[in-house]
Amino acid sequence: MGLKWVDSQEIALDLIEQHPDVDPRQLRFAELMQWVLALERFDDDPGHCGERVLEAIQLAWMDEMD
């Protein structure tokens, strides 16, 4: 089963693995969305993504880094 937009914590962990040297605070949401869509395990409709979803992923990523 692939990752969905609601799986912000799991998505964040995959993004950390793919982009270990990136500070998520410096990412634009458009870039973050493209990175999520490019994840191998991600399988959801791009149309279901909004600013709140991306913000949740960004916050989960920042939490994991602290």
Reading the block at residue 16, the tokens are: 């950390």
Report pLDDT for 1. 75
Element (DSSP H or E) covering residue 11: helix 8-18
Q: What is the pLDDT of residue 30?
A: 96
- The radius of gyration of the chain from alpha carbons, rounded to an integer in Å, stands at 10
In the prediction, which pLDDT does 59 show? 97
Asked if residue 1 belongs to a domain, the reply is no
The CATH code of the domain that includes 18 is: 1.10.10.600
The structural domain count of the chain equals: 1
Task: Supply the pTM of this predicted model.
Answer: 0.94
Q: Determine, yes or no, domain membership for 44.
A: yes
User: Which pLDDT tens digits describe the chain residue by residue (66 residues)?
Assistant: 799 999 999 999 999 999 999 999 999 999 999 999 999 999 999 999 999 999 999 999 999 988
Give the separation between CA 62 and CA 26, rounded to whole angstroms.
11
Q: What is the pLDDT of residue 28?
A: 96
